[in-house]
Amino acid sequence: MAKKTYGTTPGGVTITDELVEKLATNAEQGYDVEEMLRRRGGRPPIGSAAASVESVRLEPELREALITRATHDHETTSSVIRKALHQYLKTS
């Protein structure tokens, strides 16, 4: 007789009665809340402090040129804009 399954986890693991039992046992033993809440991952910092988000309006031709340049350089549009501002303002 085939094992009863209940779908898969986001990671692709098949959810079976055995997996549910294992997860329940782990939960009953308790979790280290501090470890679970510790910040992990996320975007790396790009400067000396938290970055701000600035909004600008671009005419369609400038936006298209920005996208073309970013695609050509294999970069994001944000990276191209930052580099252009650094060069224009002569900052590092």
For residue 20, pLDDT over 80 is answered with yes
pLDDT one-digit tens code per residue, 31-89: 888 877 776 667 777 777 778 889 999 999 999 999 999 999 999 999 999 999 999 99
| DSSP 8-state assignment for residue 74 | T
Buried b (16+ CB within 10 A) or exposed e, 27-42: eeeeeeeeeeeeeeee
pLDDT at residue 15 in the model: 92
Q: Quote the pTM value.
A: 0.52
